[in-house]
């Protein structure tokens, strides 16, 4: 049955690819590179769907990178030897530390896949080294988000979450501190964390993998990571609260004691939030993805931020109902008033023509940011264009799904199927190949 499903997907891709307009303006080397890249992505994705967990790990095993080997542990545990062959204990320590780092990347990949099928799909179109670095960044961001929005955070309260954010911030600063040649990346990445005995596998794996990514990627800076932490802190701000009706569990007209943050007064304040929690991801990943010849990272910053903001706007549009159940509303207050709606009505699940018009305003804003981001893909390294455009197209498709659902994002969750994601690839490839 699995083989039949795999064959059907491959046949579906072939039929889609046959309908792609001619690549006449693009030389054959570019076409061949695109074919290899997409073929590899499909192979990885199909293997992850069809293989057993043990077989998948064996097939996707990543060789240990030698750059983490010479610098493992404190107190001379694995100091560089100036003469002669390394001792057996040193070689054992090196293998153990390198294995820990590789395990961390693998865990980040599984965490990314479980957290966002759409984002994971886009990462399959990246080169292996880029893919796992982006997994590390994404996993770190998701762990940060869970610190504020997760079940444990909800049970522990905002004070505990705030203390945890403080600890994450201090740890992040240490990750970016320069280390001398004898104290390198594995010391920071694996020396202080034992993944086998960790009580929070995702958190510790993301720390280990992010540390290794920082040391392997020139140009990464702490500023966007710190900005994201600041954005998460704003989610804990409960100075401005208002009472709204409880959804579903409360009788109509009954005011609950449950409170909801009055999130943003206007688009500028929402944009600042979107930059902090998502636009920053573009800045984090830009050094990993690389830029095209003739451009600098600074040139591509604006487009990277626009893409992150667009992705966050899609999340906000998709998750209105889910956020309402958490007592949150991310639509700007002035736009609610312009639409003739109150926060209470939106939180109660109103879905009429006023609400449809309000959602269209949010959708057009997201689409405008997507278009600006796509225009900036020409500044990215050629190998980075396809995955970035794929992410934009896949998330943008969620907006169309909300429209198809009659703007009901209270009770219907917008999502795209695997076949729909694959159907986007021919258009993505064509645009990526002509952006020069």
Residue with tokens 């303006």: 25
pTM above 0.85, yes or no: no
Tell me which H or E stretch contains 220: none
| pLDDT at residue 187 tops 60 | no
Helix 88-115, helix 128-149: angle, nearest 10: 70
CATH 1.10.600.10 residue window(s) in the chain: 238-436
Rounded Cα–Cα distance for residues 435 and 389 (Å): 11
| pLDDT at residue 179, as a whole number | 64
Rounded Cα–Cα distance for residues 172 and 188 (Å): 11
Higher pLDDT, 80 or 246: 246
| pLDDT at residue 201, as a whole number | 66
Tell me which H or E stretch contains 156: helix 151-156
- Residue 346: both structure tokens together: 């939106």
DSSP state, residue 181 = G
- At 332, the pLDDT band (50, 70, 90 cuts) reads very high
Q: In the predicted model, what is the mean pLDDT of residues 18-27?
A: 40
Rounded Cα–Cα distance for residues 335 and 327 (Å): 19
Give the pLDDT confidence of 345-377 residue by residue, as tens digits.
Answer: 999 999 999 999 999 999 999 999 999 999 899
Q: Buried b vs exposed e over 177-210: b needs ≥16 C-beta within 10 Å?
A: eeeeeebbbbbbbbbebebeeeeeebbbbbbbbb
Rounded Cα–Cα distance for residues 416 and 394 (Å): 8
| pLDDT at residue 182, as a whole number | 40
Rounded Cα–Cα distance for residues 307 and 367 (Å): 10
First vs last C-alpha separation in the chain: 43
Q: In the predicted model, what is the mean pLDDT of residues 214-226?
A: 94
CB of 413 within 8 A of CB of 421?
no
| pLDDT at residue 177, as a whole number | 85
Tell me which H or E stretch contains 241: strand 241-245
| pLDDT at residue 432 tops 50 | yes
238-436: CATH topology: Farnesyl Diphosphate Synthase (1.10.600)
Residues 6+ apart with CB under 8 A from 227: 275, 276, 280
- Residue 79: both structure tokens together: 């100091």
What pairs with residue 152 in β-bridges? none
Rounded Cα–Cα distance for residues 401 and 412 (Å): 10
- At 32, the pLDDT band (50, 70, 90 cuts) reads very low
Rounded Cα–Cα distance for residues 177 and 170 (Å): 11
Higher pLDDT, 311 or 14: 311
**Backbone Cα Rg of the chain:** 23
| pLDDT at residue 398 tops 70 | yes
Q: Mind giving me the DSSP string for 188-202? A: HHTTT--GGG-S-HH
Judged by DSSP in three states, 258 sits in: strand
Using DSSP bridges, classify how beta strands 255-262 and 241-245 pair: parallel, antiparallel or unpaired: antiparallel
Q: What is the percentage of the chain residues whose pLDDT exceeds 90?
A: 49
DSSP state, residue 257 = E
Higher pLDDT, 201 or 113: 113
| pLDDT at residue 49 tops 50 | no
Give the pLDDT confidence of 115-174 residue by residue, as tens digits.
Answer: 988 899 999 999 999 999 999 999 999 999 888 876 555 566 678 888 899 999 999 999
Give the pLDDT confidence of 399-412 residue by residue, as tens digits.
Answer: 999 999 999 999 99
| pLDDT at residue 284, as a whole number | 95
């Amino acid at each position: 049955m699995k083989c039949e499903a795999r064959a059907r997907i491959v046949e579906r891709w072939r039929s889609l690819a046959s309908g792609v307009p001619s690549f006449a303006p693009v030389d054959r080397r570019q076409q061949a590179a695109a074919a290899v890249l997409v073929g590899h992505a499909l192979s990885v994705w199909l293997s992850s769907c069809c293989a057993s967990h043990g077989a998948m790990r064996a097939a996707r095993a990543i060789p240990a990178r030698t750059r983490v080997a010479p610098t493992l542990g404190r107190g001379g545990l694995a100091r560089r030897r100036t003469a002669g062959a390394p001792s057996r204990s040193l070689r054992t320590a090196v293998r153990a530390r390198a294995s820990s780092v590789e395990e961390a990347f693998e865990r980040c990949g599984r965490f990314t896949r479980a957290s966002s099928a759409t984002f994971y799909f886009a990462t399959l179109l990246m080169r292996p080294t880029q893919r796992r670095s982006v997994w590390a960044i994404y996993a770190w961001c998701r762990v940060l988000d869970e610190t504020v929005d997760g079940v444990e955070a909800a049970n522990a309260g905002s004070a505990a979450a705030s203390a945890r954010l403080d600890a994450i911030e201090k740890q992040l600063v240490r990750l970016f501190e320069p280390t001398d040649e004898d104290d390198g990346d594995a010391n920071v990445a694996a020396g202080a964390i034992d993944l086998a005995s960790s009580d929070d596998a995702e958190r510790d794996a993301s720390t280990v993998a992010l540390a290794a990514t920082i040391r392997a990627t020139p140009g990464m800076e702490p500023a966007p990571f710190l900005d994201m932490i600041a954005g998460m802190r704003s989610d804990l701000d409960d100075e401005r609260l208002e009472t709204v009706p409880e959804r579903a569990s409360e009788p109509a007209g009954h005011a609950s004691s449950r409170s909801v943050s009055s999130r943003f007064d206007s688009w500028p304040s929402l944009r600042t939030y979107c930059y902090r929690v998502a636009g920053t991801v573009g800045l984090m990943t830009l050094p990993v993805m690389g830029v095209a010849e003739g451009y600098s990272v600074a040139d591509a910053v604006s487009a990277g931020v626009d893409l992150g903001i667009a992705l966050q706007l899609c999340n906000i549009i998709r998750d209105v109902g889910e956020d309402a159940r958490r007592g949150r509303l991310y639509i700007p207050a002035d736009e609610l008033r312009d639409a003739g709606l109150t926060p209470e009505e939106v939180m109660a699940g109103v879905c009429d023509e006023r609400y449809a018009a309000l959602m269209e305003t949010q959708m057009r804003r997201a689409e405008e940011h997507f278009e600006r981001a796509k225009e900036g893909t020409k500044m990215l390294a050629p190998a980075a264009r396809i995955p970035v455009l794929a992410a934009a197209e896949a998330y943008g498709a969620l907006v169309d799904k909300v429209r198809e659902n009659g703007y009901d994002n209270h009770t219907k969750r917008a999502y795209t199927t695997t076949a729909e994601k694959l159907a986007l690839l021919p258009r993505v490839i064509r645009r990526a190949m002509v952006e020069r």
